[in-house]
Amino acid sequence: MRYDRKFTSENKNNNNDNKTMAQQQTVFSAVQPSGELHIGNYLGALKNFVELQDKYNCFFFIADYHSITENYDPKEKPRQIFDLALDFLAIGLDPKKCTIAIQSQIPEHTELAWIFNTVTPLTELQRMTQFKDKSQQQDKNINMGLLDYPVLQAADILMYKADAVPVGQDQIQHIELTRKIARFFNNKFCNTFPEPKNIITETSKIMSLTNPTKKMSKSHGPKSYIGINDKPEIIQKKMRKAVSTTEYNKDIYNFYATLLKKFGSEKNKRCFNEKLKNQDIKFSELKNALAEDIANYFKDFREKRKELKKNPEKIKRILNEGSKGARFVAQETMKEVKEKVGLVL
Ligand code: TRP
């Protein structure tokens, strides 16, 4: 269990890993529980989390409070939270190496977000691209939470005084704002929060199976993405229907080149890269091969997930322990913050 922010006695005695100096650095990231994860989410987030947990003091959160700013069905939310926990664990996050927690179980996050609200100019929030996009997508539900979303995200990150935040491209603006909020707070009160760096987790975008000019996203329907938990036959089916072309089309060629690079077996890479380059490709063959490779890539994940799913009590225990540990740090931060803000008599 590695929930200590820096060096509480528990951490000092913790020799169950060989994290070196880098362990003094804290990494924070979170994923919203809003349905199944696809291979784009995997490359943009989870894959890197697994690598980072060996080197840093990591916090990986299930951002359930963020997820309720979108249109959703409350009956489905507990299951989505549970499923995301399963994904985290099955992909290889290890509660002995990192802290896995649920945002809403640590009420200090919303407390800190409120305090940050008082130092964040409204105009900063109004210019966020994600706010503008989501306001269009859900024009009947432009709630305050949607606007305030980046402030809660800043609270998540700064609560643990994170040094770095691994995120996909779409979150960079939010991390920039987090740095500003840290600065606003530090200037108004006194130096409290470090300004976190972003670690860009993925540079090659995974595009939609049905439209290679759009990013892979659940919002474009199930045919447009490959879920990391999709069964091999489903992957085959989706790939068979994926875009192809009789003439050269840069977007389509890039789309397949990226999938091949990220998930292809060595043999298939050798065989199909050459053909793609020479524009001498049979898409049906390539799609078939890729479907097989992607299914293989996630084989262990699917099996582990299935096993874990049989023991929901164990999952809940891991989440409770992680959240309890994170809360310990959060309470420490809030004590310091409240004193600096002038709320302690
Ligand atoms: N907004 C992030 C996303 O949708 C999720 C998130 C919430 C997050 N809090 C965070 C990511 C803190 C990084 C750090 O992807």
Q: For each successive 10 residues of the chain (345 residues), what is the average pLDDT?
A: 46 48 84 96 93 96 98 98 98 98 98 98 98 96 98 98 93 97 97 94 85 92 96 98 93 95 96 92 96 98 98 98 98 98 97
**Residue 277 class from Cβ within 10 Å (0-12 exposed, 13-18 middle, 19+ buried)?**
exposed
The CA dihedral of 313, 317, 320, 325, to the nearest 10 degrees, is: -170
| Residues known to be catalytic | 134, 215, 218
Of 3.40.50.620, 3.40.50.720, 3.30.470.30, 3.90.1150.10, the CATH number of 9-205+312-341 is 3.40.50.620
Which residue among 66, 69, 112 is best mutated to probe the pocket of ligand 1, counting the most ligand atoms within 8 A of its Cβ? 66
CATH 3.40.50.620 domain range(s) in the chain? 9-205+312-341
Amino acid at the residue 181: I
Which residue among 26, 32, 219 is best mutated to probe the pocket of ligand 1, counting the most ligand atoms within 8 A of its Cβ? 32
Task: Find out whether the beta carbon of 65 lies less than 6 Å from any atom of ligand 1.
Answer: no
**Per-residue tokens: 168:** 């996909």
Q: Residue of the nearest CA to atom 15 in ligand 1?
A: 31
What was the pLDDT predicted at 11?
Answer: 42
**Per-residue tokens: 75:** 């009956």
DSSP for 12-34, please give it. Answer: HT--SS---GGGGSEEEEEE--S
Longest dimension (CA), the chain: 75
